[in-house]
Structure 1
């Protein structure tokens, strides 16, 4: 689509089970160099299908390749925290954010969100570029490009509770590489729709529009969150759609190296790229620290934990571009945070998620919950519930496959604990090696198969 109108986000449905409502460095450098050479070419033209939106699951599963859009990077928006920059918002400042692609393409478009805003969000000049190096705020020479909205406008407005997709931008996007996305926010934003646990530096300027600045000198403040930006879609002849990971801090990357792109989803994207059967599948990370299957973060003193998985499924998974498969890896917070849910309640919630996805033709892989003994919130009751839930997940016919994350990272000498070499230090979150073990544990057969259309599922 050449111009995307703001999409009003639907209210969160009531959850089942008792809630209220819910690449390697060398490769990256060579890809960036190639991309710069392509940018310098005389013409950069997207195919005529650039205006077609393949955001539905059925559109993505048309064969081994699709000319439509697929998610290359993404994150889940959440309400502002009770204090800090997300609560204060921005006024005539520019935010420059670093994001990491999973697949490349001939062009891109950005997803912006005002999902939790209390007022219209004015978006000014917006640009995309390759970084000069690593996670630097400086743009690589000649790589900076403007992003437009609504059919060519340099600025736009997102009403409260909506999100918007930019116009397509002709841009050779390298796979497994960092991008710089800069957004000028010319007017007071009010509390921000943000993602607090980025494990990645972002940069905030002093007053003024610095989105088109090649240098990073104007960006004097460093944050480790993303603001208003929730996705980068790409288009290319070799893309085959995307896999969306829905989860909590374990998927979000808590415990991994900052700026290291070491989340299990990053490692999984690299694994998919190496296998001809799965090459061309993007990986979109919709993990959210503190998130639960059944309850919203607004029910606690930490609203930034976000809307429950049941409540955000449509926005964060089903409405993503080219989604053909999902990995559900969530539930430990339901078992350990008060009010605690039972294993049966969480199982019913995960089954509901899977049912809604499979009805849309999306393949579903469910992950078992990893150990957390000796972490501050561990209890014997929570451990019994985790074991019960994992046993049920391994035997359930409601999912297309099971990723046995528990088996992949538990200590063989004490299965209630994470193996020492995978422990990030708090006995629940995993380090970089632990995340690589998770990535290796995801079965890929269900991901490489074409999704089954809804009508066909009805006749099974």
Structure 2
């Protein structure tokens, strides 16, 4: 593919997830002290995303509509790659008034789903050297770089103190992750759990964690719907297909050091916004959020595009040709930036309450076209990976989470195994070479 970006690749330096190692390194500095911002020099590694999620508007009711005041929210971000420095992305994209961030810290979780931090691991994050900042409605903020040994495959705790009423929050509702809300006050520096008496399975304001270090090589972004979001996977188990894919990349020397960002959204469509329905939390369409959720992320070297089933099964319905046109438009926009695109076929959903014979016909038409479409660099045949051989319109029983459309952890592992890694050679200029017809083999 012409115009493909190349990125400097350095040898991966393994950093194990041992909490004691991280805590020891941090204790050599000042606990909860602010670190000065540093800029990357011409020969230093670039930033790469290690964790991400997609922001959406508040729901019509509930915690996202009510917002927070004088509370600390402590959220878990499971890293895909490690680094020596970290920075955070916080979004107020759907806010209605300025957002005051009091103090923000990062730490390392003692156990999955726990609000407890490894003793000595909490460090304060700054914004332009200040301990907090105010974010305008519709904007986002990126923290200063913080020297911090981030392990791959670890649970980071990001704690945000919200001193003033936030109004409706910018959030991500389908986290499949336990996050924590405190009693009144700033509890960003609390290693213990005593103040964190509330639990939510959503992320609030936090949309990304970037790392930088000798081993970072770039990031793959997964743009999708609830299948990418991990609907049906084990809560706090990191069983999404993107988690399994990150573990697969980390286990192979050729792809080690490549991060994975999950930009899936439950109920999301290629063509329509959630605001066009009674569920605004379905988010902006894939076409509308491509810049924010993909192109503006750090170190993007490939995209896995896995959307379209909601366009077929949710009213107002779209047909196969409309969905294909949208997917081709997304690919063309990514190719303009020199970014390879892997497209995923749509998985079965017969017996789901939303299944119809008409939608099934359209799904099969989409998949048939995608398997030979020249507009994409590779195809991940997710349909073939999870369908029941005895009845291809259904998900095989071992992969069915129970609602006949979302998958079990095992099903998501099968999806992760179906993603071709050849397009990821763009993350390593030493081996990057497009085939003569422009498609990565």
What is the TM-score of this pair, normalised by structure 2?
0.91
Partner of 1:97: 75
CA deviation string 1:50-90 (max 9, x = no partner): 52499xxxxxxxxxx97010000000000000000000001
Structure 2 CA distance, aligned partners of 1:305 and 1:66? Answer: 38
Partner of 2:187: 210
* Residue of structure 2 aligned with 1:238, choices 195, 215, 236: 215
Distance 1:416 1:118, change over 3 A: same
Partner of 1:334: 311
Q: After TM superposition, give the deviation of residue 41 of structure 1 in Å.
A: 3.9
Q: Which runs of 5+ in 1 are unaligned?
A: 1-26, 55-64
Partner of 1:119: 97
Matched-pair contact (CA < 8 Å) for 1:244–1:284: yes
Matched-pair contact (CA < 8 Å) for 1:121–1:189: yes
Matched-pair contact (CA < 8 Å) for 1:66–1:239: no
Please tell me whether residue 75 in structure 1 is matched to residue 53 in structure 2.
yes
Q: After TM superposition, give the deviation of residue 209 of structure 1 in Å.
A: 0.8
Partner of 1:161: 138
Partner of 1:38: 25
Matched-pair contact (CA < 8 Å) for 2:52–2:208: yes
CA deviation string 1:427-455 (max 9, x = no partner): 00000000000000000000123489xxx
Q: After TM superposition, give the deviation of residue 289 of structure 1 in Å.
A: 0.2
CA deviation string 1:327-365 (max 9, x = no partner): 000000000000000100000000000110111011100
Structure 1 CA distance, aligned partners of 2:407 and 2:15? Answer: 24
Structure 2 CA distance, aligned partners of 1:447 and 1:193? Answer: 32
Q: After TM superposition, give the deviation of residue 213 of structure 1 in Å.
A: 1.1
Partner of 1:393: 370
- Give the total of aligned pairs: 416
Partner of 2:87: 109
Distance 1:450 1:136, change over 3 A: closer
Please tell me whether residue 86 in structure 1 is matched to residue 68 in structure 2.
no
Partner of 1:51: 39
Q: How does 1:377-392 map to 2 (within 5 A)?
A: 377-392=354-369
Other structure's SS at 2:64 match = helix
Please tell me whether residue 277 in structure 1 is matched to residue 254 in structure 2.
yes
* Residue of structure 2 aligned with 1:259, choices 221, 229, 236: 236
Matched-pair contact (CA < 8 Å) for 1:66–1:240: no
Q: What is the RMSD computed on CA atoms of the aligned residues?
A: 2.3
Matched-pair contact (CA < 8 Å) for 1:363–1:451: no
What is the TM-score of this pair, normalised by structure 1?
0.87
Please tell me whether residue 196 in structure 1 is matched to residue 183 in structure 2.
no
Partner of 1:247: 224
Q: After TM superposition, give the deviation of residue 36 of structure 1 in Å.
A: 2.1
Q: Which runs of 5+ in 2 are unaligned?
A: 1-13
Other structure's SS at 2:73 match = strand
Matched-pair contact (CA < 8 Å) for 2:71–2:183: yes
Distance 1:131 1:49, change over 3 A: closer
Matched-pair contact (CA < 8 Å) for 1:203–1:220: yes
Partner of 1:449: 426
Partner of 1:228: 205
* Residue of structure 1 aligned with 2:409, choices 432, 441, 444: 432
Other structure's SS at 2:182 match = strand
